[in-house]
C-alpha cells in the first residue's frame, strides 16, 4: 500500500497581507524608537488581525496619547489599538 502526502500552499493574499502588516509595524516601531520622549522608546507594536496594537507602560496619559499619535502619523492606513498602561 502506497502512502501519499498532500501538501497545500496558501500563498498570495496571506503573504501580501503579512508583508504589509510587518512593513507597517516596522514604521510604527521606528516612530516610537525615534521619539524624543524616552518612555515611548520602550513600547511595543504588534500586528493583530488588521490593526496595530501598542502595548507597554508609561507614566502619564499624555505620554499614552503621544505614543498613539506617533504611530498614527506613520500608519494612517490601519487602525491602532492603544493598550498602553498608565502607571
Q: What is the pLDDT of residues 21-65, one digit of tens each?
A: 678 899 999 999 999 999 999 999 999 888 899 999 999 999 999
pLDDT, tens digit, 9 for 90 and up, residues 8-30: 555 555 555 555 667 889 999 99
Note whether residue 22 is domain-resident: yes
Residue 17 falls inside a structural domain: yes
3 state SS of 23? helix
Domain presence at residue 5: no
Vertex 48, ends 75 and 82: CA angle to 5°? 60
pTM (2 decimals)? Answer: 0.75
Contacts of 35 (CB under 8 A, 6+ apart): 41, 66, 67, 70
pLDDT at residue 75 above 90? no
Task: Say which DSSP state 76 is in.
Answer: T
Q: Which cell numbers hold the place of 19?
A: 508583508
Please count the structural domains in the chain.
1
From 55, 8, 59, select the one nearest 37 (Cα to Cα).
59
Amino acid at each position: 500500500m502506497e502512502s501519499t502526502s498532500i501538501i497545500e500552499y496558501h500563498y498570495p493574499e496571506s503573504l501580501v497581507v503579512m508583508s504589509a502588516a510587518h512593513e507597517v509595524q516596522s514604521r510604527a516601531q521606528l516612530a516610537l524608537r525615534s521619539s524624543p520622549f524616552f518612555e515611548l522608546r520602550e513600547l511595543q507594536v504588534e500586528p493583530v488581525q488588521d490593526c496595530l496594537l501598542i502595548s507597554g507602560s508609561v507614566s502619564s496619559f499624555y505620554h499614552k496619547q503621544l505614543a498613539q499619535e506617533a504611530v498614527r502619523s506613520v500608519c494612517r492606513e490601519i487602525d491602532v489599538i492603544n493598550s498602553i498602561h498608565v502607571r
